[in-house]
């Protein structure tokens, strides 16, 4: 892992994607009641914490309810609210994770942490990064793949401001989105006045422009990618099953797309 990276790093993104995929096959920490699983892998100079996503994303999209719970209340009346289910899953394993990483009193002695996860695992990675940061653990970078939104606008502000000035979590969090992955675009509800919001920097792998990474793509760029992706699926299958935005969500798409990028690839601005 590149510990000196201060921006998106392709090698770090590749490694974290591989560990996000591995979390579907193995676990260091688990809670059966909430089906929450996490891999903690220690290298010579860092520790990778990878959270597993849901086993059946289609059921989650169909059945999930997007109620929120207040995580932090500010003296000014502000409230950081997060997805109730995500928070319950995180709370189910946080004690185990802190125990595995070591006493919070000695958090400064912990090796730099790379926090990662795919799908709902990406949402857990965000909650974990904030909690670990606030308890003094050194967060090197956060990489998520196909991650749904976690909390409201106040949560976004608190998350992105966490950490010392000039080196906040907002600067070190990279949310990778593959083509028309629909999970990265939910949930928006429950309130139009205070919707769910993404945190960190979006790194988009578009349907067109093979070999490209786009930083914080505009709405028009996303729509153009959607249009091309739909047309391409029609050409391939004539709508015989390939036109399915949930198919784009599979973790293997992320691993493959990042692996196939040229090593010198630099993110572009749309």
**Is 3 a domain residue?**
no
**Res. 150: pLDDT tops 50:** yes
Catalytic residue check, 194:
no
Give the span between the Cα atoms of 133 and 147, in whole angstroms. 20
Residue 151 gets which letter from DSSP?
Answer: B
State pLDDT tens for residues 47-87: 999 999 887 665 455 445 667 788 877 656 678 888 888 89
Q: How far apart are CA 45 and CA 3, in angstroms?
A: 8
Rounded to two decimals, what is the model's pTM? 0.89
Q: Is the pLDDT of residue 21 over 90?
A: yes
CATH code of residue 231: 3.40.50.1820
Q: At 219, is the secondary structure helix, strand, or coil?
A: helix
Beta bridge partners of 51: 38, 117
SS3 41: strand
Look at 104-118, 124-138, 183-197, 207-221 and tell me which has the smallest mean pLDDT: 183-197
Of residues 20, 27, 80, 119, which has the active-site annotation? 119
Question: Is residue 147 situated within a structural domain?
Answer: yes
What is the domain extent for residue 138?
10-269
Q: Which of 34-43, 74-83, 236-245 has the lowest mean pLDDT?
A: 236-245
59 in a structural domain: yes
Q: Is 181 a catalytic residue?
A: yes
How many structural domains compose the chain? 1
Residue 176 lies in a domain: yes
pLDDT at residue 113 tops 80? yes
Question: With contact defined as beta carbons under 8 Å apart, do 243 and 237 qualify?
Answer: yes
Within a domain: 75: yes
C-alpha to C-alpha distance for 227 and 180, rounded to whole angstroms = 10
- Give domain status of residue 1, yes or no: no
The average pLDDT across 255-262 equals 91
* Residues in the chain, total: 270
Closest CA to 190 of 152, 148, 155, 246: 152
Question: For the chain, what percentages of helix, strand and coil (3-state, to nearest 5) are there?
Answer: 40, 20, 40
Set 9, 31, 154, 181: catalytic member = 181
CA distance 13 to 11: 5
In this predicted structure, the answer to whether residue 114 has a pLDDT above a threshold of 80 is: yes
4 found inside a domain: no
Q: Is 183 part of a structural domain of the chain?
A: yes
Task: Write down the pLDDT at residue 244.
Answer: 55
């Amino acid at each position: 892992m590149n510990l000196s990276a201060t921006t998106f790093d392709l090698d770090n993104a590749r490694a974290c994607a591989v560990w996000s995929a591995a979390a579907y096959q193995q676990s260091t920490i688990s809670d059966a009641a909430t089906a929450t699983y996490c891999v903690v892998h220690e290298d010579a100079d860092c520790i990778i914490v990878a959270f597993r996503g849901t086993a059946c994303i289609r059921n989650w999209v169909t059945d999930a309810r997007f109620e929120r719970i207040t995580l932090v209340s500010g003296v000014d009346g502000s409230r950081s609210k997060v997805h109730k289910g995500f928070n319950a899953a995180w709370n189910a394993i946080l004690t185990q994770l802190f125990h595995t990483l070591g006493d919070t009193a000695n958090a400064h002695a912990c090796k730099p942490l790379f926090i990662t996860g795919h799908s709902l695992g990406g949402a857990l990675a965000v909650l974990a990064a904030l909690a670990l940061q606030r308890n003094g653990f050194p967060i090197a970078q956060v990489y998520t793949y196909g991650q749904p939104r976690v909390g409201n606008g106040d949560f976004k502000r608190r998350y992105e401001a966490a950490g010392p000035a000039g080196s906040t979590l907002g600067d070190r969090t990279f949310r990778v989105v593959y083509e028309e992955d629909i999970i990265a675009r939910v949930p928006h509800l429950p309130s139009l006045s205070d919707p769910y919001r993404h945190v960190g920097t979006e790194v988009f792998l578009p349907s067109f422009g093979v070999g490209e990474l786009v930083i914080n793509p505009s709405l028009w760029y996303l729509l153009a990618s959607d249009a091309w992706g739909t047309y391409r699926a029609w050409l391939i299958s004539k709508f015989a099953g390939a036109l399915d935005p949930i198919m784009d969500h599979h973790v293997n798409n992320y691993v493959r797309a990042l692996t196939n990028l040229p090593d010198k690839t630099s993110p572009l601005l749309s």
